[in-house]
Structure 1
Amino acid sequence: MRRLEALQHLVELTENRPVVVTCAATSRELASIADRDNHLYLLDSMGLAGSVTTGLAMAVEDSPVEKVIGIEGDGSLLMNPNVLPTGGFTRPRALLVLLDNRAYGSTAGLPTYTGSIDLGAMAEAAGWAVGRADDPATLRAEFTRLLALPGPCFLHARIEPGNAADIPKLLADPVMLTHRFQRWLAAALGS
């Protein structure tokens, strides 16, 4: 399964849910499929999707939001693995989807450590409920299963290396994207 294919399925599963998206190729590919107000693209913020997802989930704890969804890459998560024990301790209603292609997809495909280090096992050791997927049907089934569980959940999806071809850069103003997301979230919370 390629990243673009995984994102197409995630778009269908997150239409009315807050989604925090890691930077670079993942944000660009997601925006090429569906650029929605409920997407908070973290442009130029590698390593922070898990932290923002966790913090946002804590901020909306007493709201109708069932879970805040984060879409993260392995290279980005390796820049800030502290989010795993932090989430295990704080227990936010977050579902962090790791699209693990075992490479820094936006920087010439240099390998990450995930060929040897299991980030799903790290999440589980830190207290996250963990699901695993390497095909679209399992991705959808595990996403749905984890969505129903309390506390932090981690979906470790193994994907093929490589970026989709001919995807334009996401050149939107990050401030405008944030305001758009804030307006969507305020409406979703009824405030």
Structure 2
Amino acid sequence: MKRIEALDVLNELTAELPVVVTCAATSRELASVENRDNHFYVLDSMGLVGSITTGLALAAKDSDLPKVIGLEGDGSLLMNPNVLPTGGFLGPEKLLLIVLDNQVYGSTAGLPTYSSRVDLGAMAEAAGWTVSRAEDEPQLRAEFDRLLETTGPILLHVSIEPGNAAGIPKLLVDPVVLAHRFHSWLTARLGAHTAV
């Protein structure tokens, strides 16, 4: 499964959920699938998706949101692996971090990451996360649906092929505009009783 194929599935499954998206090719490809107000593209901030989604999941704990979704890459998670013990310690029940693992840094000429020899799912499990895995579209759909009913923190480790989709334009939007758009969507979704 290619990244853009996984993102197409995830876009369909997360229409009513907050989705925090890692930088570079992942953000560009998801925006090319559909650029929605519930997408928060974390441009130029590699490694922070787990931190942001942990905070949002904690803030949303008393809301009717079933989950807060993070879309992360293996290289980006390895940039800030501290999110795993932090999430395990804090235990945000609504956190679902989806790691799209292609074993390379997709935006820097496909240089290898450590994930070919370091099992990111096992790291998360050791830190107290519930871990699930998917390798194709049917597994991704089934595991996502199942995990919506599972208490977090949860890491869904998705194996994808290396390589970026061709012809995807850069995402040249001011990060402040993206943050404001997402904040407005999330505030409306949570209602006036929950502050984020």
TM class by smaller structure: over 0.9
Q: Tell me, which stretches of 5 or more residues in structure 2 are unaligned?
A: none
Question: Which 10-residue stretch deviates more, 167-176 or 141-150?
Answer: 141-150
1:106 correspondence with 2:107: yes
1:102 deviation in Å? 0.1
1:70 matched residue in structure 2: 70
Q: Which amino acid aligns with 1:141?
A: A
User: Are 1:25 and 1:105, in contact at CA under 8 Å, matched by a contact in 2?
Assistant: yes
1:170 matched residue in structure 2: 171
Alignment of 1:35-54 (within 5 A): 35-54=35-54
Aligned residues: 191
**Counterpart of 1:99 in 2: which secondary structure?**
strand
1:7 deviation in Å? 0.2
TM-score when scaled to structure 1? 0.99
**Counterpart of 2:97 in 1: which secondary structure?**
strand
1:120 matched residue in structure 2: 121
Q: Which amino acid aligns with 2:99?
A: L
User: Are 1:46 and 1:79, in contact at CA under 8 Å, matched by a contact in 2?
Assistant: yes
Separation (CA, whole Å) in 2 of partners of 1:132 and 1:90: 22
User: Are 1:129 and 1:146, in contact at CA under 8 Å, matched by a contact in 2?
Assistant: no
1:161 matched residue in structure 2: 162
Separation (CA, whole Å) in 1 of partners of 2:121 and 2:38: 26
2:80 matched residue in structure 1: 80
1:151 deviation in Å? 2.0
- CA deviation string 1:1-50 (max 9, x = no partner): 00000000000110000000000000000000010000000000000011
Regions of 4+ moved over 4 Å: none
Separation (CA, whole Å) in 2 of partners of 1:158 and 1:96: 14
**Counterpart of 1:117 in 2: which secondary structure?**
coil
TM-score when scaled to structure 2? 0.96
1:66 deviation in Å? 1.3
